[in-house]
Amino acid sequence: MTSEVIIRNKKCVVLAADSAVTISRNNNSKVYNSANKLFSLSKYQPVGILVYNNASINGIPIELIVKGYRETLKEKQFPTIAQYAKHFKSTIKAYVSEHISVQDKEDQMGVLFSDFLVYIAEIHHRNNQGYEDILNNQKHEITQIIQNDKIRLIPSVKLLPYITSNAQIKHLFQMFQSRESTVISFEDLVEVFILYIHCSINYTYTGVAICGYGSKEIYPNVSQFNVVGFVGDEFIIIGEKDHIVENDIIPLAQRDMMDTFICGVSPQILYKFSELLNIIITKILNNIKDALEINDAVFQGLISEIQKELPSSFSPTDFIDRTQIDQIVAALDSLSKEEVAELAENLVNLQILKYKVSYNLETVGGPIDVAIISKYDGFIWKKRKFYFPADLNFHFFENYFKK
């Protein structure tokens, strides 16, 4: 996991990121505090990039992809951040395609299939439900999720070659049949597995935020999207349109303490307040209905209207916007570059502190990298960790701008 934040005003945009990365194997997790998540996207232009969630795309470390892109970009510039984002998407697709093999795609599918078998086995043992019923239920439930979340479907023809001829998947299926004593068919299992793939990729992406200035922009912009990478023969980017984020404070990944600071109240408390308010309103209305003994059909319309109006009337959202968020955002434009950087670093520090004093695994932590990007000063490191002593490696900095 990770915690990052982007803050901008008319003078600059600041990026801050922690260094924690969580590695999970066989239900065991270990946290390393050495990950790089913040990079300059160009050696010459005022553009940076933050990455979060997954640290790789199809097994290729995101650091290699970003630095490979930077070498390709060289001194090239684009008029807007949206165009930088568009170019980055097309370039990484070509880069990953060049460095991923058929075997890599089959291995990835094997991992997904193994996760799927664990998933349905847990349902079976938890509910004592037969596998045929599980598959029928999952087919219905996952289809509903795909429709409700408007998940883009991958054509089966781009997935099946990496499933039906996959020796690892066939071996996993045989082991599953033997272990679970089931005669469920491979075809039925694959049908639901393909649906499962569409849901699982929504959680296995690499989040990307490209920040800074295009050559025609005087104020900083932020473009945000999620890269899944190749699933079979389909390269997937969630949010392929050039999505420009309008907010001036943009927390990424682990963000509850940042939201608490910005809103003045915990998001969990707000959610619980709304939930209890709805329960109380429903209970009061039902009591009124019973006391008045009015026909259900006559009273139902009135109840529906009251249930719609009351939560919004008692909602603290407007008050929070007016007294907290608007005031912080209004103050941002008066802050200097250094003060914006200090705010960004402290917001990430709040999240780190929360994990340090809780019993949770410290999935946020380590040194905080902070960069300030401004139109004419460019990309400036305010704080940066090195895996080597900077004063002993002057040649690294000399080589950085060599063409």
DSSP 239-276: S-S--B---SEEEEES-HHHHHHHHSS-HHHHHHHHHH
| pLDDT given for residue 199 in this prediction | 84
Q: Do 245 and 300 have their domain in common?
A: no
H/E element holding 378? strand 378-383
Q: Do 18 and 115 have their domain in common?
A: no
Q: Which long-range contacts (CB under 8 A, 24 or more apart) does 355-359 make?
A: 355/254
pLDDT at 136 over 80: yes
| pLDDT given for residue 358 in this prediction | 84
| pLDDT given for residue 359 in this prediction | 82
Q: Do 300 and 363 have their domain in common?
A: no
pLDDT at 82 over 90: yes
| pLDDT given for residue 67 in this prediction | 93
Give me the domain span that covers residue 230: 3-101+203-264+323-400
- Say which DSSP state 374 is in: E
- Quote the pTM value: 0.86
Domain boundary among 177, 198, 219: 198
What percent of the chain lies above the pLDDT cut of 70? Answer: 93
Q: Do 243 and 179 have their domain in common?
A: no
pLDDT at 307 over 70: no
Give the confidence band of 399 by pLDDT, cuts at 50, 70, 90: confident
Q: Which residues contact 374 (CB under 8 A, 6 or more apart)?
A: 11, 12, 13, 46, 337, 380
Q: Do 58 and 159 have their domain in common?
A: no
The whole-angstrom separation of Cα 146 and Cα 343 is 39
Q: Do 290 and 365 have their domain in common?
A: no
Task: Please compute the mean of the pLDDT values over residues 363-387 and round it to a whole number.
Answer: 94
Task: Please compute the mean of the pLDDT values over residues 243-247 and round it to a whole number.
Answer: 76
| pLDDT given for residue 380 in this prediction | 96
Question: How many structural domains are present in the chain?
Answer: 3
Average pLDDT of the chain, as a whole number: 87
Q: Do 162 and 289 have their domain in common?
A: no
18-32, 65-79, 123-137, 157-171: lowest mean pLDDT where?
Answer: 18-32
* Residue type (1 letter), 136: N
Q: Do 117 and 190 have their domain in common?
A: yes
Q: 368, 362, 365: which is closest to 383 by C-alpha?
A: 368
Task: Please compute the mean of the pLDDT values over residues 311-324 and round it to a whole number.
Answer: 74
The whole-angstrom separation of Cα 91 and Cα 49 is 15
> Two tokens at 275?
């939930």
Q: Are 182 and 228 in contact (CB under 8 A)?
A: no
The whole-angstrom separation of Cα 88 and Cα 361 is 34
Q: Do 254 and 359 have their domain in common?
A: yes
With tokens 């460095």, the residue in question is 99
* Residue type (1 letter), 264: G
The whole-angstrom separation of Cα 52 and Cα 208 is 7
Give the confidence band of 224 by pLDDT, cuts at 50, 70, 90: very high
Expressed in percent and rounded to 5, the helix, strand and coil fractions of the chain are: 50, 20, 30
Q: Do 129 and 219 have their domain in common?
A: no
pLDDT at 240 over 60: no
Higher pLDDT, 360 or 141: 141
pLDDT at 25 over 80: no
Domain boundary among 155, 170, 198: 198
CA end-to-end distance (rounded Å), the chain:
35
Give the confidence band of 209 by pLDDT, cuts at 50, 70, 90: very high
Q: Are 18 and 362 in contact (CB under 8 A)?
A: no
| pLDDT given for residue 19 in this prediction | 93
pLDDT at 44 over 80: yes
pLDDT at 311 over 60: no
CATH code of 349's domain: 3.60.20.10
Give the confidence band of 7 by pLDDT, cuts at 50, 70, 90: very high
Q: Do 25 and 90 have their domain in common?
A: yes
With tokens 């922690």, the residue in question is 18
Q: Do 256 and 275 have their domain in common?
A: no
68-77, 219-228, 359-368: lowest mean pLDDT where?
Answer: 359-368
Q: 123, 56, 122: which is closest to 95 by C-alpha?
A: 56
Q: 9, 53, 40: which is closest to 369 by C-alpha?
A: 40
Give the confidence band of 348 by pLDDT, cuts at 50, 70, 90: very high
> Two tokens at 197?
């793939």
Task: Please compute the mean of the pLDDT values over residues 187-194 and round it to a whole number.
Answer: 92
| pLDDT given for residue 149 in this prediction | 80
Q: At what angle do helices 131-148 and 102-127 cross, to 10 degrees?
A: 120
pLDDT at 317 over 80: no
| pLDDT given for residue 95 in this prediction | 93
| pLDDT given for residue 275 in this prediction | 81
